[in-house]
Structure formats: structure tokens, C-alpha cells
Structure 1
Amino acid sequence: MEKLNKEDIKKLLPHREPMLLIDELKDIKKLFSATGVVAVKKDSFFVDGHFPDQPVMPGVLIVEAFGQTAAALTAHGIDKETYENKLVFLMGIEKARFRNPVMPDCKLELKIEAIRSHGRVWKYKGEAFVGEKKMADAQWSATIVDRK
């Protein structure tokens, strides 16, 4: 299956360090599903403040990583001319659950699936894992908008 590295992802998303969270996109099934990989490091930007004595990846960043994975899947799958000068914006988050804390020094894998699309609006679902352990899951929607 196809795989994208961080440089490939930068060509699809406007995010840059430190907010570009996904390091790899793998197991890509065009416009249907993919797995985003986040290397949660001991020197990640949130570690010093969340929480100093027992750092964990904030849930909001897990949701952001879900969104980035979905945006990269969508941007990679649609026609390049159609996506030129467009962005994928998060519209809503549903049913987000955080089941286990994500600690630094791990690989977080976000398995996402596009549930449906209607015009520029897409709906997704995803599950986040460290190894075999489920860390979080969510459903969310996003839209493709014109870049200003």
C-alpha cells in the first residue's frame, strides 16, 4: 500500500512545526481510509506544560491529529487541480472518547475512515492506538474551503 512521509504531507497540508503532528500516512485506500502516525517524543512541544511531572499528550491534540490525518487522506485522494488553492477545515467533533493517556516516547497510530461525503463536506471516524491498546476514538466532519 501507498505511504507518505512528512515531506509529502507538507505538500498536502498547510500545517508546519510544531503544529504538523502527523509524521507519516500509511495504509492509504484512496478517499476511504488511512493510518496517520504521530511520533510522540519526550521533547514534544506540549511535554513541559502538560503535565510537568507526568506528561501526557493533550486530548485536543489527538483530535487535531485525527483531523490532519483525514485532511491528508482527502487532499491526497482528490484531483490535484480540484484541490489546488483549497484547505480542509474541521467543522465538528462528535463522540470523542479518551480511553487511555498517551505518554511521550511512543508511536500513536490513528486509523481513520471516511464515512461519507456530500459536496465539500466530509464525515470521518477514527481510532487511535499505541500498539494494540486503544487510546481514543472520535467522529468528526470537515469541509473543503477556498484558500484566501
Structure 2
Amino acid sequence: MSELPQFVDIQQIFELLPHRYPFLMVDRVTEVVPGESLKAFKNVTVNEPFFQGHFPGLPVMPGVLMCEALAQAGGLLALLSDEEMSKGDNVFLFTGIDKVRFRRRVVPGDKLDLEVFDMKRKMNLIKMSGKALVNGELACQGIMSAAIVNREDM
């Protein structure tokens, strides 16, 4: 694999992931160990569209979106770990998340640190662990799985 950059910025994330506003949940990748782990973050602002209804007067980031942020970080780890995987028109389909736990609220102004690790791949299936933290405090954790599918086969 060619040498990875020091970090992966939003423009490079756009090249790797199909997600766009309002559903892109990763702002920057800060560390990658191909095939092993990735660290990234999502800056949570009051301008997030989900805060309008979750909950008026008491904005809280939905837990399912924390899981989505971890899944997107996992997709980035897989893509940055295997050049062949990032070629062509592959799409990662989130197939499951197990042992999910939510430990703290995430609110506007928080920086959601994302860590995915312990990646295992078998054919077109990927499984890895992930955790989301705010100021070093665990907000969410789980074990995610995804399938790699060619867009043309969908």
C-alpha cells in the first residue's frame, strides 16, 4: 500500500466515502494503522439538523448516529487498509452492531472522538470494535459488521 498521509482531511474523506451532508459523520482522520486501527473525530455543533427534533430545548445526539459515525470510521479503516478495496465502485453496507452501550450524552459543542480497532475480514465481510469518546469519557461502544458490495451488484 502506498504511504498514508499524516491525517485524512474532509476532502480526502469525500473521495473515500459516499456520504454527504447531513449524513457524513466524520470530519477528520487523525491516525491510521492499516488493518488494525483508526482514530477520527466528529465536531458536534448546534447546527446539526437532528437537534431540531432531538430534543427541542435539550439537544442530544441520537445514539444511532453515534453508531453511524463509528461505522463510517470503520469504513474508512477498511478502505485505507486495502488499496484493492478502495478501487472500483465498492460500497460498505452496515450489516449489524452488537453489544452496543451508551454511557454519556453527546451535546452541541462536544468533539466526538471515534476509535475503531480489532478489524477482521473474511471474504467480503468485515467486523471490528469501536468506541466514541468525549473528553476521554466513553459515550458509546459496540462491535460492528459490514459487507463490501460492488455498487453494480446492488
TM-score (norm 1): 0.94
Q: Residue 30 of structure 1 aligns to which amino acid in structure 2?
A: P
Give the drift of 1:48. 1.1
Residues 18-42 of structure 1, C-alpha deviation per residue, up to 9 Å, x if partnerless? 1011001121001211112000001
Structure 1: distance between partners of 2:93 and 2:51: 26
Q: Structure 1 pair 55/78, CA: closer, same or farther in 2 (3 Å)?
A: same
Q: Which structure shows the higher helix fraction? A: 2
Q: Structure 1 pair 82/3, CA: closer, same or farther in 2 (3 Å)?
A: closer
User: Residue in 2 aligned with 1:119?
Assistant: 123
Give the drift of 1:83. 3.1
> Does residue 1:51 correspond to 2:55, yes or no?
yes
Structure 1: distance between partners of 2:101 and 2:87: 31
Unmatched tracts of structure 1, length 5 or more:
none
> Does residue 1:26 correspond to 2:23, yes or no?
no
Structure 2: distance between partners of 1:78 and 1:49: 39
User: Residue in 1 aligned with 2:94?
Assistant: 90
Q: Which structure shows the higher strand fraction? A: 1
Size of the aligned set, in residue pairs, is: 148
Residues 100-148 of structure 1, C-alpha deviation per residue, up to 9 Å, x if partnerless? 0101111000111143111111111011111111111010111110013
Quick one: percent identity of the two aligned structures? 32
Q: Structure 1 pair 82/135, CA: closer, same or farther in 2 (3 Å)?
A: closer
Q: Structure 1 pair 82/18, CA: closer, same or farther in 2 (3 Å)?
A: closer
Give the drift of 1:87. 0.9
TM-score (norm 2): 0.91
